[in-house]
Structure 1
Amino acid sequence: MIKRTIGGKNISTPHKKPRQRELTTTQKAENKVFSGERVFVEHLIRLMKIFRIAAERFRLHSPVYEPIILTVCG
């Protein structure tokens, strides 16, 4: 997959349909892969919100924080 960077070094965006033309089949396939990755990340963010990991103060010892986040996201 070709990483297109628009707006930043670590930001990748899907291909946009040109005016009065269609995307090529390669571009459509890359967009499909990109959206699959995006959905995965969005689901992880949803889980973090449900379990209130990022919203509330973590009350346990700090070495336990990372394994708990990885467990919820895993």
Structure 2
Amino acid sequence: MPMAAEDIEKLILAGIPDARVEITDLAGDGDHYAARVVAESFRGMPRVRQHQRVYEALGGRMGGALHALQLTTATPD
């Protein structure tokens, strides 16, 4: 069963409370999303670790309930 964009956002915010999250449904099917996650707590982290933090926040749903996520992470300007 596909995940709703709101559920993805809630999970990321629960795991990374200082994040600003933008979710885009890429295919209109509730199964392929893009997420932009901006968080001060990412500062000084390599990009791979930033992505790992997001995946940790999703609690193992990648590849299951959440089929595809195009992920962009950043720190605030």
TM range (shorter): under 0.3
TM-score, normalised by the number of residues in structure 1 = 0.25
Normalized per residue, which structure has more strand?
A: 2
Normalized per residue, which structure has more helix?
A: 1
TM-score, normalised by the number of residues in structure 2 = 0.24
